[in-house]
Amino acid sequence: MSRQRPGTPTLEEVAARAGVGRGTVSRVINNADGVRDSTRRAVRQAIAELGYVPNLAARSLAGHRADAIALVMTEPDWRLFGEPFFTEIVHAVGDALTDTPVQLLLTLVRTDAERQRFVEYARGGRVDGVLLMSVHAEDPLPDMLAKAGLPTVMLGRRSGDESVTYVDADNAGGARGAVTHLLNGGRTTIGAIGGPPDMYVAQCRLRGYREALELAGVEVRPSLVVEGGDFTEDSGHRAATDLLARHPELDAVFAASDTMAAGALRALRAAGRRVPQDVAVIGFDDFQPAHPTDPPLTTVRQPLEEIGRTLVRLLLEEMEDSPVAWRHVILRTELVLRDSG
C-alpha cells in the first residue's frame, strides 16, 4: 500500500469533503462510467480545494492510464532532431504539459516496421495519446493510430483533406504577406526556396509565394523557384547558389524556413551580394538558427507557444472525451521585420 507524504490530503479526505464513498472518488479520477455529473463535479471540486494528487503509479498498475503521451517525429534522418524547429516544438509541448501529471516521451518512427511496432506499443497501454510532427504526404501512421482508437493530434497536415485532428499555422497566408512586403519594397525578381514537395507545409508556403505575385500582376516564373529543400541550412545554401546562377539579377529571396534562409544568406555573402541592399531575404518560422544571422533575419513568425498549448489541449480533450469528429485548428502568423528584407 502506498503512503502519502505527511500533511498531504488523502483519498478518504477527498471522499469526506465531497460526501461520497472512496470508490466513487476513484471512479471519478479514472474517468469511469456510472457517476452522475453532479457527483463528478463535487468530487473534482473537492480535489481542487484540497490540492489532492492521485496516486499515479496505482492508477497505471490498475490499467486505467499510463499518464504519458508520445511525441513522434516521422523524419528518416536523426540529424533533423537538432534543427531549431524540432527543438522549439519539444520545448513548447513540454511547457504546455508542465502543470499536468502527464509525461512526454519522444520517439522517431521511420520505416513500416517501426510504424507497426510503435502502434503495438501504444495500443499496449504504454501511452494515452500521440502527437505527430513532420508527417509527409503518404505516411499511413496517422490512419493506423486512428484505426487503433488512439487519440492522435498532428502538427501540420498531410493534405488539404486531412482526416485526423491537427494544429497548423497559416502557412500560405504568412508566405503571401512576406512576398507582398518584398513587392511593396520595390523588389522585382523574387526567388523562392521551397521545402520537401511531399510535405503540405512546403506546398502551402510556395502557394502563398505564387499567390502574392499573381495578385500583384507579376509573372510567376518557374525558374525562380527551387523546390526540394529539406529545411536545413545546407539545402538553403545550395538553392540560393542555384538561383544566383539562373538569375544574376536576383534582388530578393523568400525561403520556406529560417534555417534555409540562413543558408541563403551565406551563399549571397560568398557571391559578394549585400543584404538587403542588393538582395532582400525573408525566412519563415522565427526560430533562431544554429548561429545568429548577419544581418538579423526578417521572417514570418509562427505562434510557437500557442501551437504547443493547442496541441496539448486538443490531445488531452480527445483522451478524456473521445470525440467522434476530428478538429482542425489553423493559427495566425505574423511578419517580423528586421534588417534582411
**pLDDT tens, residue by residue, 229-255:** 988 899 999 999 999 999 999 999 999
Q: Do 211 and 254 share a domain, yes or no?
A: yes
- What does the CA dihedral 66, 69, 73, 79 come to, rounded to 10 degrees? -80
The kind and range of the H/E element at 328 are: strand 328-331
Number of domains in the chain: 3
Q: Do 210 and 328 share a domain, yes or no?
A: no
**pTM here?**
0.77
Q: What value does the mean pLDDT of the chain take?
A: 87
Reply yes or no on whether the pLDDT at 175 is more than 90: yes
Within a domain: residue 275? Answer: yes
> What's the grid cell of residue 38?
453532479
The 10s digit of each residue's pLDDT in 96-117 is: 898 888 899 999 898 999 999 9
Reply yes or no on whether the pLDDT at 8 is more than 90: no
% of the chain residues with pLDDT over 70: 88
Domain with 161 in it: 68-169+305-332
Least confident of 74-88, 120-134, 243-257, 259-273: 74-88
- Label residue 154 by pLDDT band (50, 70, 90): very high
Within a domain: residue 4? Answer: no
Q: Do 255 and 318 share a domain, yes or no?
A: no
% of the chain residues with pLDDT over 90: 57
What's the CA gap between 296 and 36, in Å, rounded? Answer: 58
The 10s digit of each residue's pLDDT in 11-59 is: 788 889 999 887 788 778 766 667 888 998 898 888 888 877 655 444 4
Q: Do 121 and 164 share a domain, yes or no?
A: yes
Within a domain: residue 6? Answer: no
